[in-house]
Amino acid sequence: MKFLLKTGLFGLLSLLMWANAFAVSGPFTVNVDVPPGQWKAARLKNLPKDATLAVKVESSGDVIVIILDSTSKGKPDVSRPLFTGRVEKRLSFSVTVGEAGDHYLVLDNRRGSEPRAVKVTVQAASSSSDRLQAADKVMKLVELQLAQGFIFDPFPIGIKQCGVPRAFAETSGAMLCTEYVYHLYDALKDQEKARDFLFFSIYHEVSQELLQKWNHPEAAKIETTDEFAVALMLMLNLKNRVLGAADYAVKNPSAFNAMTKLFQDERHPLSAQRAKSVLKWAKDSDFLKRWQAFLVPHMQTALLKRLKQKPTTWTDLSLVEKELASRDKKAI
């Protein structure tokens, strides 16, 4: 994507353009002052069909933000905006581009009596049905693995378009946003690395839900959630995914800086600082044993019986046998 800012006027709209040019796919940030009674606008050049455009706007006061299609001769169609919203202090949203071509981001302060200082962060991610299908398969696999291994009240696990730059929907459960999938793949340019990060993000979100449901005393702490996510992934033979995501994050600390700013999410994706702890836990041979006292009471009976018959290196047989005996007594 090219974000093209050039001076000029749209004859139909009398838009005052601000100058400069960007030849990147983003995310990038631009600061602009919008005088009272005026518009300012930017041309988003050559967006591909079905691209997801994520936008974050911060303003010193009320201003209207509009995303417009391009029509013949470069004049935007004001009768059918892709998005219109009022910004009081900040606003985040995402839209899907229906047709390939130039589009326009407009800041409208025509009704304002004071100038507005506006900060805009934009990123366009190309759409791919393969990416969404892969992410959907990951979510279904996670749901299956959890159901086979643990006892918990069901909660939604899936994928959806959230309409804002978020990793997961602000609802109960773990509903992965398509916007996060698009931008994660675009940021990494590597399918397997993107899947590593998707797995960790998903298990982090699931872990937060389970810690709350199982009344862990430190459920609100990000570090605890990270640690529990690592424990679940190691138990479910996903050590390579843990190491892949954490190692990349440590070695590429700047890879997600812009994405983190866009998503305003301290949990997703995994940061370099948190990844150092993740690597330490994943390589610690005694790490999983420390979680067994918390996990064993929530394991499916079938899993407990398998662990009794064929203990793993991290199995605490005394805890497993005690839990099975307790369940046998309750069944009588």
CB 237 within 8 A of CB 223: no
CB 234 within 8 A of CB 288: yes
Amino acid at 269: P
CB 279 within 8 A of CB 250: yes
CB 90 within 8 A of CB 40: no
Beta bridge mates, 31: 119
Name the residue with higher pLDDT: 2 or 291: 291
CB 70 within 8 A of CB 104: yes
Span 288-319, pLDDT tens digits:
999 999 999 999 999 999 999 999 999 999 99
Domain boundaries, the chain: 2-125, 129-284
**What pLDDT score does 114 carry?**
93
Structure-block tokens of residue 139: 């979510």
CA distances from 258 to 98, 146, 255 (A): 25, 32, 8
Question: In whole numbers, what is the pLDDT of the chain averaged over residues?
Answer: 84
**113 exposed, middle or buried (CB, 10 Å; 0-12, 13-18, 19+)?**
exposed
CA-to-CA distance for 306 and 294, rounded, in angstroms? 18
Q: In the chain, at which residue ranges do the beta strands (DSSP E only) sit?
A: 2-5, 16-17, 20-22, 28-34, 39-47, 52-59, 63-69, 83-87, 90-96, 101-108, 116-125, 157-160, 174-177
Provide the H-helix boundaries in 98-149.
129-149
Inform me whether the pLDDT recorded for 12 exceeds 50: no
Taking CB atoms within 8 Å and a gap of at least 24, the contacts of 183-190 are 183/27, 183/52, 183/54, 183/123, 183/125, 183/259, 183/262, 183/263, 184/259, 184/269, 185/125, 185/128, 185/131, 186/25, 186/123, 186/125, 186/126, 187/255, 187/256, 187/259, 188/255
CA angle in degrees (0–180, nearest 5) for 201-204-205: 90
Span 159-217, pLDDT tens digits:
998 888 889 998 888 999 988 888 887 777 777 888 899 999 999 999 999 999 999 99
Say whether 10 sits in a helix, a strand or coil: coil
CA angle in degrees (0–180, nearest 5) for 112-118-123: 130
Q: Quickly state the pLDDT bin for 77 (edges 50, 70, 90).
A: low
Residue 74 has what DSSP assignment? Answer: G
What class, spelled out in words, does domain 2-125 have in CATH?
mainly beta
**What pLDDT score does 4 carry?**
41
Inform me whether the pLDDT recorded for 102 exceeds 60: yes
CB 55 within 8 A of CB 94: yes
**What pLDDT score does 5 carry?**
38
Name the residue with higher pLDDT: 17 or 120: 120
Amino acid at 26: G
CA-to-CA distance for 199 and 190, rounded, in angstroms? 14
Structure-block tokens of residue 82: 């892709």
CA angle in degrees (0–180, nearest 5) for 286-290-292: 115
